[in-house]
Structure 1
Amino acid sequence: MANGENLEESSPLLGKVVANADHKDSLPTSTAPPTPDSLPPPPPPPLPKHMDEDNRDGRSDYAWTADGLPVHGSVLGEPIGRAQWETDLCACIGRHDEFCSSDLEVCLLGSVAPCILYGTNAERVVSSTPGTFANHCMSYSGLYLIGTSFFGWNCLAPWFTYPTRTAIRRMFNLEGNCEALHRSCGCCGLCVEDEVQREHCESVCDFATHVFCHTCALCQEGRELRRRMPHPGFNARPVLVMIPPGEQSMGRGV
């Protein structure tokens, strides 16, 4: 007789023990509830209609992040849109708003004393440097006198003032002349596409603006600065002056 048959005859309960062991092996080893880490990741949200159509055509440019959010390939590193100037170049009087009186002052300074207007503009741009107004105003006055005396017109001052326009444009991320022409009529497309070439073209346009429309350029820069940032001399906080009471004497009434 075989060994298995001898075991069954010697212990009739052995078959039940073996069956129970096989049943335990088939059961899951852990009855603990599943943790969030062990759960499968949720399916990504459905694509919008225009994105779903692109995927069906086999020309999708979208990728998926770990959070299940679609990311377009051109979003990373995309430049911020340019802001436009508050007033136009030829709007010498400005606009009828809360800056109307300031626009009239800018127009008067640009027509009568452009050296003072340029000094105030440079002082607002470089507010942390002491003596900015005096240095720029005196330098402009010297170049103005030399240009008008030897050449008959103010031809030397624009070489000195146009970097301020470039600094204002970069400070507030303003739209340049090349970008304005590309937006309005579609020209200068090759200059706008490349960042370095565009900056060179905008610098040349800033210089040309100061050469051919010098007074209007100074006025436009002055209006832009007065609308976007206060004067450095007006940033001080008001001081509360405490006046002590006068002397009092104690006397006996008559």
Structure 2
Amino acid sequence: MGRIKQNQDTALADHPPQTKHDNPTFHAHPTPVQPTTGYQYPPVNPHYTDGIPVNQPTAPPIGNVQQNWSSHLFDCMDNPENALITCCFPFVTFGQIAEVTDQGTTGCGTAGMLYGLICCLFGIPCVYSCTFRAKIRSKYGLPDAPAPDWITHCFCEYCALCQEYRELKHRGLDPSIGWIGNVQRQQMARQQEMMAPPMGQRMMG
């Protein structure tokens, strides 16, 4: 027993135990290392869930995206012929706009006569014409600019009619040929597309 104790004292003298005072990196209770077994999942990103970002701004639906007018209110000289007709006979331009906007439900002559009647009796045809500007805006998602419809027609009646005329033409509808004329033109365009040979077709000899 005395020899075993002497050997233990000699070992302690050669290799004294480390303490936190002897070694600053010494940890009395080291953190146990967990064994790595199996598949290790990557760290979870709090901004993504199943590949979809959360709490991130999303783009509005395409259907709610508001478009702009194809021309400004005072671009009347973009179509000088229509500007001259509107200046001299505004009821003609309005009748054409009304027929195409209502898809033939309202005739050009009927709308033009009603426009002239309101103008002669009350002197404020804008109360009637502004309603069709609202229909055009609702149909194509256009902004209520540069002012509300009734204000635009009240102070700039002729310019508003010219702008609406140009907008319909930009959308592929020509008010000068009426609704039936536009329908026939679209039908002819479809027939030509169907009769046209497919691209890349070759003659087989």
Q: When the two structures are superposed, what TM-score results if normalisation uses the length of structure 1?
A: 0.48
Q: Closer, same or farther in 2 for the Cα pair 1:112/1:42, shift >3 Å?
A: farther
Q: Which residue of 1 aligns with 2:156?
A: 213
Q: Which residue of 2 aligns with 1:70?
A: 53
RMSD between superposed Cα atoms in Å: 3.0
> Residue type of the partner of 2:116?
S
What is the percent sequence identity of the aligned residues?
A: 27
Q: Which residue of 2 aligns with 1:91?
A: 75
1:81 Cα deviation after fit:
3.2
1:88 Cα deviation after fit:
1.1
1:217 Cα deviation after fit:
0.6
Q: Closer, same or farther in 2 for the Cα pair 1:43/1:175, shift >3 Å?
A: farther
* Partners of 1:117 and 1:160 in 2: CA distance: 14
> Residue type of the partner of 1:91?
D
What does 1:8-23 align with in structure 2 at a 5 Å threshold? none
Equivalent position to 1:110, from 69, 86, 94: 86
* Partners of 1:43 and 1:121 in 2: CA distance: 62
Q: When the two structures are superposed, what TM-score results if normalisation uses the length of structure 2?
A: 0.59
Q: Which residue of 1 aligns with 2:144?
A: 176
Equivalent position to 1:164, from 127, 132, 136: 132
- C-alpha distance after superposition, 1:25-80 (max 9, x if no partner): xxxxxxxxxxxxxx999987x7xxxxxxxx7xxxxxxx6454x2214455386683
1:173 Cα deviation after fit:
1.2
Q: Which residue of 2 aligns with 1:32?
A: none
> Residue type of the partner of 1:219?
C
Q: Which residue of 2 aligns with 1:127?
A: 103
* Partners of 1:42 and 1:235 in 2: CA distance: 60
> Residue type of the partner of 2:83?
C
Which runs of 5 or more residues in structure 1 are unaligned? 1-38, 47-54, 56-62, 95-102, 148-154, 181-201, 241-254
* Partners of 1:115 and 1:141 in 2: CA distance: 6
Q: Which residue of 2 aligns with 1:9?
A: none
> Residue type of the partner of 1:109?
I
1:104 Cα deviation after fit:
2.1
* Partners of 2:55 and 2:61 in 1: CA distance: 11
Which runs of 5 or more residues in structure 2 are unaligned? 1-38, 192-205
